[in-house]
Structures are given as C-alpha cells and as structure tokens.
C-alpha cells in the first residue's frame, strides 16, 4: 500500500505533475470553450484591439457573467489575454480564430468542436473495447454518408478541410517540382484549395478536382474565384469505383488516414487501374514515426479521431510502403515534412511482370 502523504506530494514537486495530469483531463473543457468562442465569432468581434465582456455579451446576446468566465478560462490556455479586468484581447494563438485571418482556423474549430464529433468521442470507450467506429455506433452510418445527407455541415466540413490545407497546400505548391504542362488530378481534392495553389503559378498546367458529390460541392466556387474555371475541371465520383484517367500527376492528400488498410489498397488499385503507366502518384499526409513521442501530438490526435469517426488511421513510412507495393506501385522518394507538417511520398506504377 502507498505511504505517500499530502505533505510528500508538496515536498517532492509532485504538485506540478498532478496539475499536468489534471490539465490533460480538462482537455475536453478547453475544446468546448474554444468551440463556443469560434461559434460565437468572439475573435472577429475582438479583432486586433480589445473589448470588454459587456460589449462582447451585448453583440452576441450572451449572458455576460458566463461569457466573462469563458474568456478568462481562454486566457488560462493562451487563447485570449486580459490586459485589464473584464477587457479581453487575442493572443497570436487566438488570432487564428478570426475569420479574416489568412491562416484562419475558425471553421476548423467549429467543425471539430461540432456535436457530431463530441458525441462520437463520448463512445471512445466502445471503440477501444470493440474496434467498432464510435461514429457509426452513434449515428448508424459512416461519417461521409452522414455528411452527404447534411448539406450545411458538409459545407462546413469542406471549408474546415480547406482551412487546414491552406498552409501545406502553399508549401507543396512552392516546394515540389510540378511539371509546367500536363494535367494534375487531385483525388479526394475537396474544394480545390490544393489544385488552386498548384495551378495559379503555372499557367500551362491543367487540373481535375475529383471527389464525392458532396465533397466537390464547394470546388466550382473556389476555382471560379481563382479564375481557374477554364483549366480546372470538377468531377464527382467514388474513388472505390473509378477515378479520372489520362492525368500526368495524381495527388491524394489527407485521404488515407480516413480508411483502414483494405480500403486504402482498394483506392490505390482504382488509381493504379486508371492512371497512365507514365504518370506519377503523390501521397501527401502525415507519416508517423516508428515509435510514438511527444513531438507531434496533432498526428496522434488525428489518428485517434480517425479511429473514432472514420475507422481509418495514420501510418508510418513502412506501412505506406507496404500499401503501395501491394497495390502495384514502386516508391520513388519520401519527403518527410516536405509539405508543412505533412510528408510527400512519390510513387510510380510498377510495370506489370
Ligand atoms: C479529409 S478530406 C481531405 C480533403 C482534401 N484532400 C484536403 O486535403 O483538404 C477527405 C476527402 O475524401 C473525400 N471522399 C470520401 N469518400 C470518397 C469517395 N468514396 N470517393 C471520392 N472522394 C471521397 C471526402 O469527400 C473528402 O473531401
């Protein structure tokens, strides 16, 4: 039996350890607080200056004493600051909740703090005990089928993906040696954010955004805003059935983490069957280290979020290599961290024996 007394805890510096664990237990409280701030648009109202809780409550029709406590709690986690009692400003972290920020994550926060995710995570225990997706357990359908039936949330999801993609898309577009001509096909390309970043600086290059009907719903507007309608097509379909043929470069970004190995191989085989023998495939996504460490918690958050919602997983380089080899591809290079936090795996069709 332990003989540790409360005095021992104070004396040995264990108080910090207790606080560290309690902060982690409170992670869900932080997520709820950030989600409500994003939903109310508090960062837009605060902007670059500072606002009192009375002003913010009046503009959001919120209950002032409760809103003030929310803002104070957000100070404690580095999202807001309280330069004087009752007046609040944004930190650099919190500024990313502004809708007009070029690196805005407001829609990303609204989406991942949406009830469909919170409710699914409440069944994490079920997933851990059974291996069954919590999302399907709760909603009796898969997350993408659910989104296809809920247009408003599907739009928010596509916009959240676009926000999340913007930085890595820019980095990939600038850092990878894309051809000047030919056609790039973005499989599961969502609203076309990545293809826009790739095509804009290369006036002779053409593109095809391919995704499910609900996945591509926002793509025509993105392409039209960028003036790319004449050289970028939008095609709706199912990557388990077919993908556009005739491309020179096929990109699949942030898709494989949504799927288990059987489905990932099925997607790769569809692509392999439709792409020309001379084309190249780029997989862009997280590559996990062989053993877990504390350097990239977001990768593990996503991995667990996939386990709960889509049944997918993040993968190590070795796991990607196996999937590609088994699906008829030869890996040509692996650029760890080549697209912001994301990595780039370049593969080509293995010639038929
Ligand atoms: C996590 S999102 C990534 C979107 C985009 N590539 C990005 O990086 O922001 C996965 C994408 O796969 C699409 N998707 C899911 N099932 C699909 C299917 N059966 N056929 C085509 N696309 C699908 C989704 O609609 C979604 O746009």
Instruction: Write the residue with the smallest CA distance to atom 17 of ligand 1.
Output: 212
CB 189 near ligand 1, within 6 Å: yes
Q: Which residues contact 308 (CB under 8 A, 6 or more apart)?
A: 120, 121, 123, 124, 127, 133, 134, 135
Are 119 and 217 in the same domain?
Answer: yes
CB 258 near ligand 1, within 6 Å: yes
Longest dimension (CA), the chain: 75
CB 236 near ligand 1, within 6 Å: no
Instruction: Write the residue with the smallest CA distance to atom 11 of ligand 1.
Output: 188
Q: Of 53, 74, 102, which closes a domain?
A: 102
Tell whether 1 is covered by a domain. no
184 has which bridge partners? 207, 249
Q: Which residues contact 282 (CB under 8 A, 6 or more apart)?
A: 176, 249, 250, 251, 252, 253, 344, 345, 346, 347
Are 134 and 205 in the same domain?
Answer: yes
Q: Report CA-CA distances (Å) from 120 to 33, 127, 299.
A: 18, 10, 19
pLDDT at position 7, please?
73
Q: Of 36, 69, 102, which closes a domain?
A: 102
Tell whether 97 is covered by a domain. yes
Are 291 and 217 in the same domain?
Answer: yes
Are 80 and 213 in the same domain?
Answer: no
Are 16 and 94 in the same domain?
Answer: yes
Distance 188 CA to ligand 1 centre (A): 4
pLDDT at position 1, please?
52
pLDDT at position 3, please?
67
Q: Which residues contact 13 (CB under 8 A, 6 or more apart)?
A: none
Which segments of the chain have a pLDDT < 50? none
pLDDT at position 5, please?
77
Helix, strand, or coil (residue 285)? strand
Quote the domain boundaries for residue 10: 6-102
CB 172 near ligand 1, within 6 Å: no
Q: Tell me phi and psi for residue 80, to 5 degrees.
A: -125, 170
pLDDT in tens, 57-116: 999 999 999 999 999 999 999 999 999 999 999 999 999 999 999 999 999 999 999 999
Tell whether 107 is covered by a domain. no
Name the pairing type of β-strands 329-339 and 315-316. unpaired
CA-nearest of 209, 286, 215, 216 to 243 is: 209
pLDDT in tens, 232-264: 999 999 999 999 999 999 999 999 999 999 999
């Amino acid at each position: 039996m332990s003989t540790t007394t409360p005095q021992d805890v104070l004396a040995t510096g264990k108080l910090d350890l207790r606080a560290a664990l309690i902060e982690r237990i409170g992670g869900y409280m932080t997520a709820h607080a950030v989600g409500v701030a994003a939903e109310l648009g508090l960062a837009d109202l605060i902007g670059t200056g500072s606002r009192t809780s009375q002003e913010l409550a009046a503009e959001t029709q919120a209950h002032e004493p409760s809103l003030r406590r929310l803002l104070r709690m957000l100070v404690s986690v580095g999202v807001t600051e309280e330069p004087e009692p009752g007046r609040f400003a944004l930190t650099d972290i919190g500024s990313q909740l502004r809708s007009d920020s070029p690196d805005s994550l407001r829609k990303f926060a609204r989406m991942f703090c949406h009830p469909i995710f919170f409710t699914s995570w409440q069944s994490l225990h079920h997933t851990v005990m059974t291996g069954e997706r919590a999302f399907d357990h709760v909603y009796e359908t898969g997350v993408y089928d659910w989104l296809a039936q809920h247009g408003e949330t599907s739009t928010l999801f596509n916009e959240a993906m676009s926000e999340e993609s913007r930085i890595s898309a820019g980095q990939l577009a600038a850092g990878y040696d894309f051809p000047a001509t030919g056609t790039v096909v973005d499989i599961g390309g969502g609203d076309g954010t990545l293809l826009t970043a790739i095509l804009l600086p290369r006036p002779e290059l053409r593109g095809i955004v391919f995704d499910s009907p609900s996945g591509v719903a926002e793509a025509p507007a993105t392409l039209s805003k960028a003036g790319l309608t004449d050289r970028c097509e939008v095609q709706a379909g199912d990557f388990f059935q077919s993908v556009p043929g005739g491309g020179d470069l096929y990109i699949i970004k942030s898709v494989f983490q949504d799927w288990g190995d059987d489905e990932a191989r099925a997607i790769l085989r569809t692509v392999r069957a439709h792409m020309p023998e001379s084309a190249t495939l780029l997989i862009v996504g997280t590559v996990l280290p062989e053993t877990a460490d504390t350097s990239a918690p977001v990768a593990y958050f996503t991995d667990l979020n996939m386990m709960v919602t889509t049944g997918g997983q993040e993968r190590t380089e070795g796991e990607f290599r196996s999937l590609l080899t088994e699906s008829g591809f030869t890996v040509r290079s692996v650029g760890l961290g080549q697209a912001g936090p994301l990595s780039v795996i370049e593969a080509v069709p293995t010639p038929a024996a």
